[in-house]
């Protein structure tokens, strides 16, 4: 952990700002007799996804290939389970509100392995003020999307790029992600790493406070 007081907080999107609804994913697998992890693996553990998340692949071809692979594993035709899972997902309102409470005191960024739709999704997503409030994108000083920059976590380049865009040294950054290898990679660069899992009931404000962030006493507003 660096000695500098935190000046910036870097958030993953999926799993930190956006609830991936792992419970729905597991329920769909159980409903259709699929091994646990099948839906996630066919969508995000493929060469097609690795190309898409670096801006080199075709999104529709990736989605079609993921469904075909899921049907191959099942040995039968299936409804579009990936779409059903994605449709169940939504923003983590408490964490958006926390970002809003922190933005006056810290530089904030999104650092996400995502396809090129991420920026539009953040602009379409209402901020914590609700309908008519600012878009979620307006809460962040930088949006670092892997498909836009051509590199992805846990590659060190994407963390370094985020620091440059925020004009903050790694030692003054706190990085939050739901995937341990991504947190470890950030820590290796001198950031303070926070592993956050909404599916196990983690309190992001408490985790940030433990990492040295001065979280507003009133919490998210």
Q: How would DSSP label each residue in the chain?
A: --SSPP-EEEE-SBTTTEE--HHHHHHHHHHTTPPTTHHHHHHHSSHHHHHHTTT-S-HHHHHHHHHHHHHHHHTS----HHHHHHHH-EE-HHHHHHHHHHTTTSEEEEEE---TTHHHHHHHSB-TT-TTS-BGGGG-SEEEEHHHHT--TTSHHHHHHHHHHHT--GGGEEEEESSHHHHHHHHHTTPEEEE--GGGT--HHHHHHHTT----TT---
Q: pTM for the full model? A: 0.92
Residue 215 covered by a domain:
no
Same domain (yes/no): 181, 125? yes
Same domain (yes/no): 128, 27? no
Same domain (yes/no): 174, 114? yes
- Give me the pLDDT at residue 4, please: 74
Residue 1 covered by a domain:
no
Same domain (yes/no): 35, 96? no
Where residue 175 sits, what CATH number does that domain have? 3.40.50.1000
**Domain total for the chain?**
2
- Give me the pLDDT at residue 5, please: 87
Same domain (yes/no): 118, 154? yes
Same domain (yes/no): 12, 106? yes
- Which residue stretches of the chain have pLDDT < 50? 1-2, 129, 131, 221
Same domain (yes/no): 182, 105? yes
Residue 191 covered by a domain:
yes
Q: Are 153 and 16 in contact (CB under 8 A)?
A: no
- Give me the pLDDT at residue 3, please: 63
Structural domain containing residue 171: 8-20+90-210
CB count, 10 Å around CB of 12? 23
Domain C-terminal end among 66, 87, 108: 87
Q: Are 169 and 4 in contact (CB under 8 A)?
A: yes
Same domain (yes/no): 143, 177? yes
């Amino acid at each position: 952990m660096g000695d500098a007081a935190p000046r910036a907080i870097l958030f993953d999107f999926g799993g930190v700002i956006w609830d991936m609804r792992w419970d729905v994913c597991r329920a769909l697998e159980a409903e259709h007799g699929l091994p646990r992890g099948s839906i996630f693996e066919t969508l995000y553990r493929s060469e097609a996804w690795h190309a898409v998340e670096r801006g080199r692949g075709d999104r529709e071809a990736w989605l079609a290939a993921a469904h075909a692979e899921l049907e191959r594993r099942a040995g039968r035709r299936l409804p579009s389970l990936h779409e059903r899972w994605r449709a169940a997902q939504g923003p983590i309102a408490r964490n958006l509100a926390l970002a809003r409470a922190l933005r006056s005191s810290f530089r904030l960024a999104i650092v996400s392995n995502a396809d090129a739709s991420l920026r539009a999704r953040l602009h379409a997503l209402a901020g914590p003020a609700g309908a008519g409030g600012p878009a979620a994108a307006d809460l962040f000083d930088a949006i670092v999307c892997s498909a836009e920059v051509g590199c992805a976590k846990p590659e060190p380049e994407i963390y370094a790029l985020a620091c440059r865009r925020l004009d903050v040294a790694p030692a003054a950054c706190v990085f939050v992600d739901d995937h341990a290898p991504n947190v470890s990679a950030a820590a290796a660069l001198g950031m303070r790493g926070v592993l956050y899992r909404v599916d196990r009931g983690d309190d992001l404000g408490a985790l940030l406070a433990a990492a040295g962030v001065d979280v507003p006493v009133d919490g998210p507003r």
